[in-house]
Amino acid sequence: MTAVETQMTYSNSYTIHHEETYMTQEEDWDRDLLLDPAWEKQQRKTFTAWCNSHLRKAGTQIENIEEDFRNGLKLMLLLEVISGERLPKPDKGKMRFHKIANVNKALDFICSKGVKLVSIGAEEIVDGNVKMTLGMIWTIILRFAIQDISVEETSAKEGLLLWCQRKTAPYRNVNVQNFHISWKDGLALCALIHRHRPDLIDYSKLRKDDPIGNLNTAFEVAEKFLDIPKMLDAEDIVNTPKPDEKAIMTYVSCFYHAFAGAEQAETAANRICKVLAVNQENEKLMEEYEKLASELLEWIRRTIPWLENRVAEQTMRAMQQKLEDFRDYRRVHKPPRVQEKCQLEINFNTLQTKLRLSNRPAFMPSEGKMVSDIANAWKGLEQVEKGYEEWLLTEIRRLERLDHLAEKFKQKCAMHEAWTAGKEDLLSQKDYESASLMEIRALMRKHEAFESDLAAHQDRVEQIAAIAQELNELDYHDAATVNTRCQGICDQWDNLGTLTQKRRDALERVEKLWETIDQLYLEFAKRAAPFNNWMDGAMEDLQDMFIVHSIEEIQSLITAHDQFKATLPEADKERMATLGIHNEILKIAQTYGIKLSGINPYTNLTPQDISTKWDTVKHLVPLRDQMLQEEVARQQANERLRRQFAAQANIIGPWIQTKMEVQFLLDIAGSLEEQMNSLKQYEQNIINYKSNIDKLEGDHQLIQESLIFDNKHTNYTMEHIRVGWEQLLTTIARTINEVENQILTRDAKGISQEQLNEFRASFNHFDRVRHSWTQKINYIVSESKRNGMMDPDDFRACLISMGYDLGEVEFARIMTLVDPNNTGVVTFQAFIDFMTRETAETDTAEQVMASFKILASDKNYITVEELRRELPPEQAEYCISRMTRFVGPNSPTDALDYISFSSALYGESDL
């Protein structure tokens, strides 16, 4: 260094110029006060203590600040300790020029650190000039203890002052405005200590009127617990009108360096805790998704085999119980699962949005648990469900038909068996061997009448066989009994035919032996038998059971019955004619005095039999009328059920169709919060409409219980209504979720409501995929359409409309960003992410690594002990359980690799 201008004042003699702000502050201080002996005393004590706090690290110290630095050796040693660098080797001589050389080496080192020294020369230091020596030490303190302090874009003195103000702001009676008077009462120093180490000082017990006590408390605690030596005297500070600013700054800077490292570690720990909390929350959402998806898939897996079980019950009661169980499934068990499926899709979309906003990789569910997998499983469930319902109804119709046929079979068999009772014994008699001529002829005629009757019953036997065959074809559960009974009737019928032929042959052999029997008896028998058989058929028809399913069918039966009633007058004539023959016999017998036995030898039928059956036929006719009219009433009731269902369905169906217009939901004006409120009100209105659906379900159940299988009054089936209702709920829920995700995106990426509205308007303009309600219903089945998406051509047009100049290469690059899975469509969320990508402000893997590096004291690894010391227990254990062991030279056994862990948090490879 060159010679200095010794005539300058003390203040000017060590004015320091530097590019940093803290150097220019010196010119504003009161230079006259710098000569105050009290200030010089404070500086001597403070600077000496500050130098010794560093020199003791090298095993030495100074006693007199202007004497002990004169040879330059301890001055060079001080600079080496505080800078961590080696200075040139000092001269060993004790001559004056040796001392000047050593001091110059120290001053040159200070200049090499960017500090320009003015008016400070080696000769003044060697001569023990106390003012120059104090000025040089203050230069060193400024450069190595204060210059690097930076708080909120300030530095040096202003930064240190701002740090003190921020730390002491909450404390009563503390108002730090400078580095002299603000510290006289000692409360500011005590507040600094209490703010960082509340365990060392009970601030509530300090008094403003005890400044010496407060200062000594701060000095003693700092020296004992913070390793900050006592650099000031309480009495000197209290008794000085304005304490020395440099002394106060030097002492306070020691507190900054003592606490700043802890604050930096605290900041780093807070950042890590924030990142880990995001990951823990996301993992919880992933676990909840996996659990809900597993439960829903497991329910579908258990339900499908039950619906695929098509083992028919043997009775109508059992099959109706199956139908009731299926209705319970539809009313009770399935609706909560519909809500779970909808909620699962919403949770999945929300989770993906949170992951994307926190710069995490997208969530990939376990194999087989994707939203598409659940949708496919649900689709399979509904297909099986539909088939099961159709099978149930078909099986019930089959059992109904079987019950009808079985009852009809029993009635016809009973009538036939009643007719054939004793016929075999009768045909097997040989009464003709001992009969008279008249009796033989009577037997012959009687047999002829029997043959006529036998032929008339042939049709009933064929009907019995046909019914038995149909019961077998429809798999009647008691077919064995039916077949046995039918076989018995057929075998008996064959035997009757054989016996009839044998008896005829026998009678014909002796026919020439007998006289012609009475024609009138014969004519009566011949006319009475067919008429009697006609009445049997009429009674059978009048009592015949019937099944109809419409007004038209029952009307057809009524028409047939009316036609039958129209034949009754002709039948009555036949009855009168037949009875007239018997009356003629009585008349002849009376006229010629013939004594009649009272028995017609040709038939067992009597006029009384004819009259009795005729009365029965007339009695059955009004009963049949009543049955038909009751069936008309039932069919009319069924028709009312059809019309009642159709009236509601024709209102509910179009209502759902109107509510399915998604364009209304997407074009709601106002802020996203206002849109959310409108959508939730819209959703509540839809939910309030559910009572109409439930009422329609009740009408549908009445229709099913009445076995009504068609309805010409409406095109809407209950299945259409159910599917439309489920799709409507899902659509509004998805729309609400979309707005929620837009709010998350807006808040996370800092875009304005106007920008978001502009993006939505552009997207809606080019989103051309709009569907009718029928197409939306078909979407449930085929999933062949998408809504709220743009194809690549529309997306290109949208970008061009917003001012993008797109070439093929650039557009291909953008498509890889908005459609990474190459699905061929662009969602609104992907469109928003692309438009706001450049403004995103999220944590990165590099930031997390830097935070861990601070906690690890710049090491490439961090120990278990350090994690548990710096982080809350939950976050510390989270890191320990997921970090891999760090392998490196001289690394401890509990060293962990925080670099790989930080990269894995963001789905990146090691940086």
Given this model, what pLDDT does residue 848 score?
85
Burial of 260 (0-12, 13-18, 19+ CB in 10 A): middle
Record the tokens describing residue 81, joined without a space. 């300790």
What is the β-pairing status of strands 789-790 and 826-827?
A: antiparallel
Q: How many CB atoms lie within 10 A of CB 891?
A: 16
Query: Percent of the chain, pLDDT > 70?
Result: 86
- Mean pLDDT, to the nearest integer, of 564-582? 87
Report the pLDDT averaged over residues 78-88. 86
For residue 601, give both structure tokens. Answer: 């030898």
Helices (H), 309-370: 316-328, 334-357
Domain count, the chain: 5
Among 338, 369, 401, the domain-final residue is: 401
Residue 839 sits at the vertex; the CA angle it makes with 836 and 840, to the nearest 5 degrees, is 90
> Do residues 617 and 664 share a domain?
no
Q: Do residues 677 and 798 share a domain?
A: yes
Whether residue 896 is predicted with pLDDT greater than 90 in this model: the reply is yes
The answer as to whether 169 is a domain residue is no
Last residue of a domain, one of 617, 651, 685: 651
Burial category of 598 from C-beta neighbours within 10 Å (exposed 0-12, middle 13-18, buried 19 and up): exposed
Q: Are residues 700 and 798 in the same domain?
A: yes
Same domain, 686 and 606: no
Q: Is the pLDDT of residue 724 over 70?
A: yes
Query: How does the average pLDDT of the chain come out, rounded?
Result: 79
Tens-place pLDDT, residues 841-887: 456 788 888 888 888 888 889 999 888 888 888 888 999 998 999 98
CATH of the domain at 295: 1.20.58.60
Among 587, 620, 651, which residue terminates a domain? 651
Is residue 853 one of the residues assigned to a domain? Answer: yes
What is the model's pLDDT at position 328?
A: 87
Cα 238 → chain centroid: 70
> What is the rounded CA–CA span in Å between residue 396 and residue 137?
107
Helical ranges in 151-244 per DSSP H: 156-168, 187-196, 211-225, 234-239
* 720 vs 656: CA distance, rounded Å: 10
Per-residue model confidence (pLDDT) at position 589: 55
**% the chain with pLDDT above 90:** 7
User: Residue range 759-767: average pLDDT?
Assistant: 74
What pLDDT, on a 0 to 100 scale, did the predictor assign at position 36? 67
475 and 566 fall within a common domain: no
Q: Are 217 and 186 in contact (CB under 8 A)?
A: yes
Q: Answer yes or no: are the C-beta atoms of 686 and 729 closer than 8 Å.
A: yes
In a domain, 321, yes or no: yes
Residues 393 and 432 in one domain: no
The reported pLDDT for the residue numbered 773 is 44
Q: Is the pLDDT of residue 154 over 70?
A: no
What CATH number corresponds to the domain at position 896? 1.10.238.10
Q: For residues 303 and 342, state if they share a domain.
A: yes
Same domain? 676 vs 824: yes
Residue 788 — very low, low, confident or very high, per pLDDT cuts 50/70/90?
A: low
Q: How confident is the model at residue 747 (pLDDT cuts 50, 70, 90)?
A: confident
Residues 733 and 812 placed together within one structural domain of the fold: yes
Cα–Cα distance measured from residue 68 to residue 56, given in angstroms and rounded to the nearest whole number = 14
542, part of any domain: yes
Give the global pTM.
Answer: 0.48
On the question of pLDDT at 533 being above 80, the answer is yes
**Residue 471 to residue 478: CA distance in whole angstroms:** 9
Report yes or no on 31 lying in a domain. Answer: no
Please give the pLDDT value at position 22: 31
Categorize the per-residue pLDDT at 596 as very low, low, confident or very high, splitting at 50, 70 and 90.
Answer: low
Q: Is residue 180 part of a domain?
A: no
Q: Which domain holds residue 876?
A: 845-905
Q: Measured over all CA atoms, what is the biggest interatomic distance in the chain, rounded to whole angstroms? A: 194
Q: Are residues 573 and 602 in the same domain?
A: yes
19/75: higher pLDDT: 75
Is 707 found in the same domain as 646?
A: no
- E strands in 718-817: 789-790
- pLDDT, tens digit, 9 for 90 and up, residues 418-454: 888 888 888 888 776 655 557 777 888 888 898 888 8
Which DSSP string do the residues of 71-95 spell out, in sequence order? TSHHHHHHHHHHH--PPPPPP---S
Distance of CA 760 to the CA centre of its chain: 25
Tens of pLDDT, residues 308-351: 888 877 777 887 888 888 888 888 888 998 888 888 888 888 88
What's the CA gap between 686 and 683, in Å, rounded?
5
Side chain identity at 59, as an amino acid letter?
Answer: G
Q: Tens digits of per-residue pLDDT, 454-466? A: 888 888 888 888 9
In a domain, 76, yes or no: no
The reply to whether 21 falls in a domain is no
Mean per-residue pLDDT, 723-743? 84
683 and 794 in one domain? yes
**How far, in Å, CA of 321 to CA of 483, rounded?**
29
Q: Tens of pLDDT along 614-666?
A: 999 889 889 888 888 887 888 788 878 888 888 888 888 888 888 876 444 44
